[in-house]
Amino acid sequence: MKGLMVSDQPVVPGFHPDPSVCRVGDDYYLVCSSFEYFPGIPLFHSRDLLHWTQIGNVLDRPEQLRLPADMPSSGGIYAPTLRHHDGRFWLIVTNCSEGGGNLLVSTADPAGPWSDPVWLPGVPGIDPDLAWDEDGTCWCTFAGVGQVAIDPYTGRTLGAERRLWSGAPGAKAPEAPHLYRIGEYWYLLIAEGGTERGHGVSIARGPGPSGPFEACPHNPVLTHRGTDHSVQNTGHGDLVQAADGSWWMVFLGVRPHGGTPGWHVMGRETFLAPVTWTDDGWPVVGEIVSPSDTGIAADATFRDDFDLPEFHPSWISLRDRSPEHCTTEERPGRMTLRARGTSLDEPDAVFIGRRQQHLACRADALIDATQGAGGLAVRLDEQHHYAIETDGTQVQVISRVGSVRATVATLPVPAGPAVLSVRITPPPRPHDARTGPDVITLGVEQPDGTFAVLAMLDGRYLSTEVAGGFTGRVIGLYAARGTVHADWFAYEPTVRARPTT
C-alpha cells in the first residue's frame, strides 16, 4: 500500500472503539461500538483502509435499537462483528441493556436499510463473532471464549455450546473473538488483559472452527503494555486481507496526554497496522501506520446549516431520537430541540452531538433559546460534562464533575440568539507531571464580533481515567428547558497534525 508512514494517528479518530472490518472486492467496510447513543453502530467505507467515510449507521430505526431512558451511560451497543457471506452483509452485536441481548441484522447493501433484528437467546455473553465453514455451518464465538452453531435466519442455536480457548493462563477478560479460515488452519484471534493499559491481542490456531487450538508462541501478537508508546490500551483487533494479498489489522487504542497517570479524552479510537506471516504460519503485527500526508483532511471540518430533513450520519443522540424532541422539519434551516429532562445531568436529556475527533478543536453554534434554555456542551456522561447555556438574556457556564454541579460564570447578553463556542487546546504546561490533557474554554461571541471567555476548565475531568466507562467526548447541542433552536453548528480542528517517524 503506497503513501504510508509509521505514525501514532488513528485511521478513524475519536470515540470509535471495537472495530470490525470486512472486504468485498476493492471495497472495505468498518463498524464500531456506539454504547448509549442512537443511531447505533457507525458504518464506514474505504478503498484503501486509510481514508474512511461514514456512510450510515446500522441500527438507525427504533425497531432495531431500543435503549431505555434510565440505562446507564456505557451501556447499550457493544462490539459488533461485520462479515460478508454468500452475497450478503451480516452484523452481530450485543445490546447490553434491559430487554437486550445478542442480535443479528443483515442487508444486501451496506448503506442500508438493514433488516430488523433476529434475536439470539441461546448465545450468552458479549462480543459475538460470525464465521462460516465449508459446509455452510454458521459459528458464533463469544467472549469467554465459547462457541455455538446458529441459524442466522432464525436465531436458533444448533447443538451444544462448547468452550474453546481463553488466551494466556491467568489473563483477565478473554473477549473479542474473531475466527478465520486462513490457509490450512482456522485461527482464533482474541483480546485479553482488559481494555485498559494491559490490553493486548493473542491468537491460536487449530484444524477446524472448534479447534483444538494451540497458542501462538509469540503471544501477545499486539500490545503496548509497559511501553512509552504514545498509543496505549491497544487491543480488540480484526484481520482483513487486502485485494493485493497483503494482510492488515484494525484495532482500538487510546492517546493519553498530560502528566501522570495520563488521560485520554476521546475514548478508544481505531488504528491500523500491517500484518506479515512467519514461515511457520503465525502473524506478526507491525507498527501503526497512517497516510503519509497527516495534515488536516479536507473533510475534517464540519458545518451543518440544517437545510435538509435528514440528519448527517455523524450526529448521535442520547438513547433515542424522537421527532417530538429533536427535528429539522419544524423550522426550515433550524434544528429544534424540545427539553424532556431538566439538565444534562438527567439520563433522558435531549442532546445531539458529534464525537470529538481532534486533540485541538473548536465548535460553535448559533442558539436561539428565547423560548427556553439550552446550549453547547462537551459531554462524557451524566456526571461529567461542561456546558455553555443561554436563556436568551444571560449566558452561563455549567460544570458537572462527579457529584458536584456548579455554575462557573455568568454574563448578561443582548436579548435574542447567541453564538456559543467551545475551544479545546493543549495544556499550558505540557511537561508538568500534574498537568491535565487539555484546556476547555467556553465563551460567547459579543455583538462586536469579539470572543468573550467565560471559563477555562481542566479537561482531565472529562476523561475516561476520571469518569470511567467505555465512551469518549461528544460535543453538541442540548435543551434544558422549553424549546431551543439552532441555526447552525460548526466543528473544526485547530492544530495541524504533525507527522511522526
What pLDDT is stored for residue 496 in this prediction? 55
Whether 10 maps to a domain, the answer reads no
249 and 328 co-located in one domain = no
Domain end position, chosen among 262, 294, 326: 294
284: Cβ contacts below 8 Å, ≥ 6 apart? 218, 221, 275, 276, 277, 278
Confidence class for position 293, pLDDT limits 50, 70, 90:
low
- d(CA 354, CA 351) in angstroms, rounded, equals 10
- Looking at 251, 270, 294, the residue that finishes a domain is 294
Kindly give the pairing relationship between strand 350-355 and strand 335-338: unpaired
Is the predicted pLDDT of residue 277 greater than 70, yes or no? yes
Tell whether 318 and 278 lie within a shared domain: no
Statement to judge: residues 449 and 465 lie in one domain? yes
In this structure, the answer to whether residues 31 and 173 fall within a common structural domain is: yes
Is 297 a residue whose pLDDT tops 60?
no
CA distance 196 to 478: 31
Cβ-based neighbours of 248, under 8 Å, separated by 6 or more: 49, 239, 240, 241, 242, 272, 273, 274, 275
What per-residue confidence (pLDDT) applies to 499? 40
Domain-ending residue, one of 241, 271, 294: 294
Residues forming the active site: 18, 175
The answer on 123 and 179 residing in a single domain is yes
Residues 267 and 327 in one domain: no
Instruction: Give the Cα separation of 378 and 397 in Å (integer).
Output: 11
CATH number at residue 155: 2.115.10.20
Number of domains in the chain: 2
Q: Is residue 1 part of a domain?
A: no
Residue 368 covered by a domain: yes
- Quick check: is 501 in a domain? no
Shared-domain flag, residues 53 and 150: yes
Q: Are residues 222 and 111 in the same domain?
A: yes
Domain assignment present for residue 470? The answer is yes
| Backbone φ and ψ of 464, nearest 5° | -65, -35
Which domain CATH number covers 429? 2.60.120.200
Angle (CA) 48-42-293 rounded to 5° is 35
Least confident of 299-308, 364-373, 378-387, 436-445: 299-308
Distances in Å between the Cα of 115 and the Cα atoms of 119, 444, 495 are 12, 44, 41
The answer to whether residue 5 sits within a structural domain is no
At 497 the pLDDT is: 46
Whole-number CA gyration radius for the chain: 23
Bridge partners, 74 (sequence order): none
Q: What's the gap between Cα 155 and its chain centre?
A: 27
Q: Is the pLDDT of residue 278 over 90?
A: yes
Residue 310: count other Cβ atoms within 10 Å of its Cβ: 8
Q: Tens digits of per-residue pLDDT, 225-257?
A: 999 999 999 999 999 999 999 999 999 999 999
Question: Which DSSP string corresponds to 396-452?
Answer: EEEEEETTEEEEEEEEE--SS-EEEEEEEE--S-TT-TT--S-EEEEEEE-TTSPEE
- Could you tell me if residue 12 is inside a domain? no
Q: Is the pLDDT of residue 351 over 90?
A: yes
| Phi and psi torsions of 230, nearest 5° | -70, -15
Look up residue 483 and give its three cell numbers: 424549546
- pLDDT 10s digits, 135-145: 999 999 999 99
For position 292, what pLDDT does the model report? Answer: 65
Q: In terms of domains, do 98 and 28 share one?
A: yes
| Pair (253, 184) in one structural domain | yes
Residue 284 in any domain: the answer is: yes
Dihedral pair phi/psi, residue 460, rounded to 5°: -60, -30
Contact 174, 167 (CB under 8 A): yes
Q: Are residues 100 and 235 in the same domain?
A: yes
Same domain as 153, residue 271: yes
Range of the domain at 118: 20-294
- Cβ neighbours of residue 482 under 8 Å, at least 6 residues apart? 338, 339, 369, 371, 372, 373
d(CA 247, CA 19): 16
For CA atoms 330, 357, 378, 382, give the dihedral sign: positive
The answer, as to whether pTM is greater than 0.85, is yes
